[in-house]
Structure 1
């Protein structure tokens, strides 16, 4: 994430690419084989590829907290930058969605319906087409933007326990909803009452990161040892814990299970798994020649830079493919066919994403200004 407010952490863009790729594979995979609940943990990662959304949200909470540091956030400037970041492509997708719905439903939608779509709150005024079912997350993300400066300010005043208390409150609210209705999956998955856990856990991860950076700076000034980078073994262990956690969720609950009480605590557990992985990934020292590491870093960062376009537009590419071509025939069964076809579609999605990033996103990103003092 490039920003004028803080040093660039290219590895966060690596993770954004990974999150977007998971969502792309998930959406194609589920159109072919449904909610599989595989015995293979690697297949479970794709079967529960919606978890890429949780990764995006942990990253958002983390990076905004790191960028702000101990400085004051000017609310208007912060929101302006957020609008410039997401709304140009969002408006592009909304108008395309609107025209598709107008044609498919054979009816005209008025200004109020369009306005409902453009507001940062879930709207049912225009039915979601299969090409843009993922846009709901943008509303949730923007709702977090609206309250983030307050969460950060209050956590500075009261300490990190303020954020931990929020996590407890959210679990309690979901438990009450489950007790009242017998289901909390919608609240936990598609609203801020489930996703706020993930933003807040990203903010808490940023606190640990800031402490680590401060200790490094202090040690460097004193001429002492600096906190070492972690070996790739630690990343493998964090990845294994994440994989096993998602596999257990897939086997016992699964994406389409509406009545499970596990949804009461899953948003926070999922975010915690990702937070550990993100923290370890940021601290891992990669082996190999420096020149090779730099080339890989730049390539993954470039893919991550277009991840928002990838997320917004991927279902349109999937639908176009499915309208004309069947899944690849690998000879290893429908699961392998779906995985191979999803992997084949990813470069096509990335190519379209690169175009929309440079034509729509990037010019508006250049208009952002400072919001910290």
Structure 2
């Protein structure tokens, strides 16, 4: 094991994490690639359809990265003076504006294309509780904006975070790695628990896996909370200077090897567990590089910009996959056959459209909402009637520029 890296870290409140911002876009791109390329490969004209499962698995790992990253970043920026209500307000304002806009667009597109709009495929999604309901049509029904299921998990994470952070802060520094090992073992135990306790039927439509196992391992928010906790633990390790010195390059190689190994595990055992810890190592290694001022391939200006629009990119991409050039929500999709050049063309076109829509959503919805509602406005004091002796002082105060607080980013 490498020796601990004891070089000083800047205070987490002033240390930006550009590499993690850039990596956020890589994770979002993997999710788009899994949906666009994965569905197209299933309709390929030749043997390329055999590789569809690898792309779908890449999307699973992208979602897992987001869950671990959430725990890491929220721990990194946590401040003693913050309150639970202020924290929850910021997170809700971050999540819901983009969600509501894309949900409205989803319903409009469903109506326009003749996809049935029902209470089951809209109301739970509206309130982001669909992942708690073990019904395929509620979470992943035809035409719906499926990726919003992960926001239901994130809401549980945010609700629990103040208490989870308090609990993790009570762990002695020398025991943090043991807790990381325990969280990883718990993640590995999830598919075993599902297999031993849940019904074996019905099977998934496109995968010979029981629906109940799939839901419990992948969609159900409670088991996914373990990845969020793993992110909290690893953030404490970095902040408390208990990091083992693993650099970003080797960490990414470990994650890539885990991804390949996961493809050979049966059923739900390869979906989350094998890559959770390797992805946490990637996040910690990238944050350490950023905090120590080392450049990475993900810390440049373009990658940071892409990372800043990654949430909008993630939440809008499936609409483009469903109703854009690929059109998996249209009935004729399942009767078409794509050539390799057609697969490449429509995947690139889907990416380009998604990027433009993500930029618009981030610029016109997400950022204005954060500026307007992420912080409570201070009460406006009534203006007293000035007395002659205070006239000069009052005029001076009126000429002073208004102080504005920076927009919250977390």
TM-score range, shorter chain: 0.7 to 0.9
> C-alpha deviations, 1:218-256, integer Å up to 9, x for none?
xxxxxxxxx98x7xxx43332222222212222444xxx
**SS of corresponding position for 2:170:** helix
Gaps of 5+ in 2: 1-11, 43-47, 201-209, 377-407
Shift in alpha-carbon separation, 1:338–1:282, aligned structure 2, 3 A:
farther
Residue of structure 2 in register with 1:23 after alignment: 31
Q: Distance in 2 between matches of 1:300 and 1:117?
A: 31
Does 2:360 align with 1:352? no
Q: Distance in 1 between matches of 2:218 and 2:184?
A: 15
Residue of structure 1 in register with 2:379 after alignment: none
Correspondence 1:265-276 to 2 at 5 A: 266-276=271-281
Deviation at 1:323, TM superposition (A): 4.7
Does 2:386 align with 1:369? no
Shift in alpha-carbon separation, 1:340–1:83, aligned structure 2, 3 A:
same
Contact 1:131 1:313 in 2 (8 A): no
Residue of structure 2 in register with 1:66 after alignment: 76
Residue of structure 1 aligned with 2:262, choices 249, 253, 258: 249
Task: Give the greater-gyration-radius structure (CA).
Answer: 2
Residue of structure 2 in register with 1:99 after alignment: 108
Gaps of 5+ in 1: 216-226, 254-259, 328-332
Residue of structure 1 in register with 2:240 after alignment: 211
> C-alpha deviations, 1:163-207, integer Å up to 9, x for none?
765655565554333112345232111122332222122112101
Residue of structure 2 in register with 1:179 after alignment: 196
**SS of corresponding position for 2:32:** helix
Does 2:300 align with 1:297? yes
Q: Distance in 1 between matches of 2:249 and 2:341?
A: 24
Q: Distance in 2 between matches of 1:261 and 1:352?
A: 33
Shift in alpha-carbon separation, 1:341–1:299, aligned structure 2, 3 A:
same
Residue of structure 1 in register with 2:125 after alignment: 117
Deviation at 1:97, TM superposition (A): 2.5
Deviation at 1:299, TM superposition (A): 1.0
Does 2:240 align with 1:235? no
Residue of structure 1 in register with 2:314 after alignment: 311
Larger helix percent? 1
Deviation at 1:37, TM superposition (A): 5.6
Deviation at 1:9, TM superposition (A): 1.3
Deviation at 1:272, TM superposition (A): 0.8
**SS of corresponding position for 1:314:** helix
Shift in alpha-carbon separation, 1:249–1:167, aligned structure 2, 3 A:
closer
Shift in alpha-carbon separation, 1:369–1:186, aligned structure 2, 3 A:
same
Residue of structure 1 aligned with 2:158, choices 145, 151, 164: 145
Correspondence 1:164-175 to 2 at 5 A: 171-172=188-189, 174-175=191-192
Contact 2:234 2:280 in 1 (8 A): yes
Question: How many equivalent pairs are there?
Answer: 327
Residue of structure 2 in register with 1:322 after alignment: 326
Shift in alpha-carbon separation, 1:244–1:211, aligned structure 2, 3 A:
same
Deviation at 1:50, TM superposition (A): 2.7
Deviation at 1:27, TM superposition (A): 0.4
Between 1:203-212 and 1:164-173, the stretch displaced more is 164-173
Bigger relative contact order, structure 1 or 2 (CA pairs below 8 A, ≥6 apart): 1
Q: Distance in 2 between matches of 1:269 and 1:127?
A: 25
Shift in alpha-carbon separation, 1:201–1:130, aligned structure 2, 3 A:
same
Does 2:63 align with 1:53? yes
Residue of structure 1 aligned with 2:95, choices 78, 86, 95: 86
Between 1:151-160 and 1:48-57, the stretch displaced more is 151-160
Give the aligned CA root-mean-square deviation in angstroms: 3.9
Q: Distance in 2 between matches of 1:247 and 1:166?
A: 22
Does 2:84 align with 1:75? yes
Shift in alpha-carbon separation, 1:65–1:107, aligned structure 2, 3 A:
closer
Deviation at 1:276, TM superposition (A): 1.6
Q: Distance in 2 between matches of 1:115 and 1:107?
A: 10
